[in-house]
């Protein structure tokens, strides 16, 4: 693992940063190959019982959305997204919803149905789960994510007061002991310091994580960050490189928004092997979607899935096997309960209608 001095040099000496990028790039190719996955979280609900994160859109909806039930998305629309993502070769980064939005039984059934639609086990990012709850989610769930967001104790007390780190750590440690893959999400640009990068490395080491998602801040109107600029591309690259050099086998997903697409190439060279945070149905087939593919290509990587092939989106042709992550990584579809199968059959007509609506939306934007 990099030392505090080595981490500091990444952000104070451009020569050290360039050397680190070269080392991180070599390690990525050695341990992960040249593949890059397109990742997308599927949101289950706009409700959050905590709703206190200073950067979060859902925190601003707290006064408007007073009942968890009314904030839940229709299950057939969730399944339509999963079906289209499988068709396009996109990965479900995780199922995401605010704290307390669903009962455990509802969550289990949703996870099973989405896993069936995606033909792959899913990750969850739904708050802190107990060991007993994790035990009941076995089968369709393969990984558990903790929304850490920042590692500075002082900053956490200010911007994520409702999400203490200790319970998140306990969940991830227990999940790892139970055989789940584990990961965290980090947001850059919240006011953290360079020294916090080393603290992040210590956390990854302590928790023996399998995956880290590193987002750049996407300022939301009405939050304290609405006029804050996203972090510099080379700063994000430096953090990614520090993680890659310190932990060669960890999967790193880099998240950026539509106005920061040129950051993708340097993030990939820094060690990311997945990219996320894109509004799929408004970008697909547009110049923005093609820009993502260009960034990957010019970084010397092979993109799994497509961000531009409308024929694949419409289902008139299939994605090439060599671009399908389920085939490339030899995924085995999970077994699901009879109840989940019956619900899938019940929702099938509405899933089909929702898929057609999403496709029509994309075609209007192209």
Domain 4-365 has CATH 3.20.20.70: yes
C-alpha to C-alpha distance for 78 and 336, rounded to whole angstroms:
17
pLDDT along the chain (366 residues), means of 10: 95 95 98 98 75 56 58 92 98 85 91 97 95 94 96 88 92 98 96 95 98 90 81 96 98 93 96 94 95 98 98 97 96 94 98 97 90
Structure tokens of 114?
């989405």
Give one DSSP letter per residue of 64-87, joined into a string.
Answer: T---HHHHBPPHHHHHHHHHHHHH
Q: What pLDDT was estimated at residue 318?
A: 97
Q: Which residues pair with 124 in a beta bridge?
A: 95, 144
183 with 215: CB under 8 angstroms?
Answer: no
Question: What's the confidence (pLDDT) of residue 86?
Answer: 98
Q: Are 214 and 242 in contact (CB under 8 A)?
A: no
Domain residues of the chain, as ranges? Answer: 4-365
| pLDDT value, residue 52 | 59
Phi/psi-derived region of residue 130, left when phi > 0, alpha when psi is between -120 and 50, beta in every other case: beta
The total of other beta-carbon atoms located within 10 Å of residue 95's CB is 24
The pLDDT of residue 316: 97
Tens of pLDDT, residues 308-365: 999 999 999 999 999 999 999 999 999 999 999 999 999 999 999 999 999 999 999 8
How would you class 228 by CB atoms within 10 Å of its CB: exposed for 0-12, middle for 13-18, buried for 19 or more?
A: middle
Backbone torsions φ then ψ of 279, nearest 5 degrees? -75, 90
Query: What is the model's pLDDT at position 219?
Result: 79
- What is the bridge-based pairing of β-strands 274-276 and 251-255? parallel
Share of the chain residues as helix, strand and coil, in percent rounded to the nearest 5: 50, 15, 35
pLDDT at 55: 58
Kindly give the residue spans of alpha helices, DSSP state H, lying in 38-74.
Answer: 57-60, 68-71
Residues 82, 42: Cα–Cα separation, whole Å: 8
Q: Are the CB atoms for 256 and 216 separated by under 8 Å?
A: yes
Which residue intervals of 301-337 are DSSP H helices? Answer: 310-314, 325-328
How far is C-alpha 230 from the geometric centre of its chain's CA atoms?
18
Tens of pLDDT along 212-256? 999 998 877 777 877 888 899 999 999 999 999 999 999 999 999
DSSP E strand stretches across 99-198: 122-125, 141-149, 181-188
pTM for this model (two decimals): 0.94
Contacts of 221 (CB under 8 A, 6+ apart): none
């Amino acid at each position: 693992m990099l030392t505090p001095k080595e981490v500091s040099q990444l952000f104070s000496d451009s020569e050290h940063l360039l050397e680190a990028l070269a080392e991180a790039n070599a390690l990525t190719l050695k341990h992960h190959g040249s593949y890059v996955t397109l990742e997308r979280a599927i949101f289950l609900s706009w409700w959050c019982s905590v709703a206190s994160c200073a950067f979060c859109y859902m925190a601003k909806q707290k006064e408007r959305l007073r009942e968890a039930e009314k904030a839940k998305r229709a299950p057939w629309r969730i399944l339509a997204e999963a079906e289209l993502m499988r068709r396009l070769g996109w990965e479900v980064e995780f199922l995401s919803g605010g704290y307390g939005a669903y009962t455990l039984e509802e969550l289990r059934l949703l996870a099973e149905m989405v896993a069936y639609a995606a033909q792959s086990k899913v990750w969850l990012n739904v708050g802190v789960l107990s060991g007993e709850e994790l035990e009941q989610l076995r089968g369709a769930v393969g990984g558990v994510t903790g929304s850490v967001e920042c590692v500075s104790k002082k900053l956490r007390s200010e911007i994520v007061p409702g999400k203490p780190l200790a319970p998140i750590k306990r969940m991830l440690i227990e999940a790892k002991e139970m055989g789940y893959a584990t990961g965290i999400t980090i947001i850059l640009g919240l006011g953290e310091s360079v020294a916090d990068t080393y603290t992040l490395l210590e956390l990854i080491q302590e928790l023996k994580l399998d995956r880290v998602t590193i987002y750049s801040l996407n300022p939301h109107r009405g939050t304290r960050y609405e006029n804050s600029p996203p972090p510099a591309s080379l700063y994000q690259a430096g953090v990614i490189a520090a993680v890659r050099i310190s932990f060669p086998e960890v999967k790193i997903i880099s998240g950026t928004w539509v106005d920061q697409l040129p950051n993708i190439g340097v993030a990939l060279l820094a060690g990311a092997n997945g990219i996320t945070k894109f509004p799929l149905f408004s970008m697909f087939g547009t110049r923005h979607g093609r820009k993502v593919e260009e960034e990957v290509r010019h970084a010397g990587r092979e993109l799994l899935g497509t961000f531009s092939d409308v024929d694949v989106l419409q289902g008139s042709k299939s994605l090439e096997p060599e671009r399908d992550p389920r085939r490339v990584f030899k995924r085995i579809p999970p077994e699901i309960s009879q109840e989940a199968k019956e619900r899938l059959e019940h929702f099938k007509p509405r899933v089909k209608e929702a898929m057609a609506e999403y496709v029509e939306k994309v075609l209007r934007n192209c």
